[in-house]
A = this chain, B = another copy of it.
């Protein structure tokens, strides 16, 4: 699909947006990026996605313009239209395992960790919807431990989270964890195998864009972009 230009509407503090940015980079797709505030969507953005959610991928070729909404729909679309490397695998059962883990991080991890930590610490301030709720922050900090234990359990059995090769499962997990790491809230040292997996992920060229993110008013901890954290 050469001759097509891609534009991604995203937000740096949105984990599904981060997964799509990682997938685009792993697949070497050149893309323009537009930061959109989904809580205050422009009329132009609402016309692209009536759900008012990021990420949205716009594909333009000559005078044709097509829009793909929803992070997983975009990832599956990239898988179906871009050549290797595959980020889903070939075998249907292996692909199902990747999709299970993507849903694990986008639903379960999001509801139990990301919504508490990024929701309270970042989005409330960005949206001007009040002070962070310390009880919810404490819940997020408690809940992340079980998820890091699960990553350790997977990392003891597999090279990457879903199997031998890197897949969307690693990108989904890395998207959420990189955000929590930006907030300084990942207890890496209590979970060395999870840290080792994340260090491998973080050192990939595809990860560079995320490590360069800086949102005004939010300073990441020094180790955020450090490959030897």
Q: Mark A84-108, 1 if CB is under 8 A from B, else 0.
A: 0000000011011001100110001
A229 to B100, CA, bound (A): 37
**Chain B: which residue is nearest A153 at the CB level?**
B50
B100 engages A73 (CB within 8 Å) = yes
Of B66, B96, B104, B150, which contacts A74 at CB under 8 A?
A: B96
Min CB gap A53→B, angstroms: 8
Q: Say if the beta carbon of A133 comes within 8 Å of chain B.
A: no
| Residues of chain A at interface, number, CB under 8 A | 24
A72 to B69, CA, bound (A): 16
How many of these chains are in the complex? Answer: 2
Q: Say if the beta carbon of A76 comes within 8 Å of chain B.
A: yes
Residues of B within 8 A of A72 (CB): 72, 99, 103
A73 engages B50 (CB within 8 Å) = no
A70 engages B99 (CB within 8 Å) = yes
A50 to B153, CA, bound (A): 12
Q: Say if the beta carbon of A81 comes within 8 Å of chain B.
A: yes
A76 engages B95 (CB within 8 Å) = yes
A77 to B74, CA, bound (A): 18
Interface pairs (6), CB distance under 8 Å: A53-B108, A68-B96, A69-B96, A70-B100, A70-B103, A73-B103
A residues near B, CB below 8 A?
A: 50-51, 53, 66, 68-70, 72-74, 76-77, 80-81, 92-93, 95-96, 99-100, 103-104, 108, 150
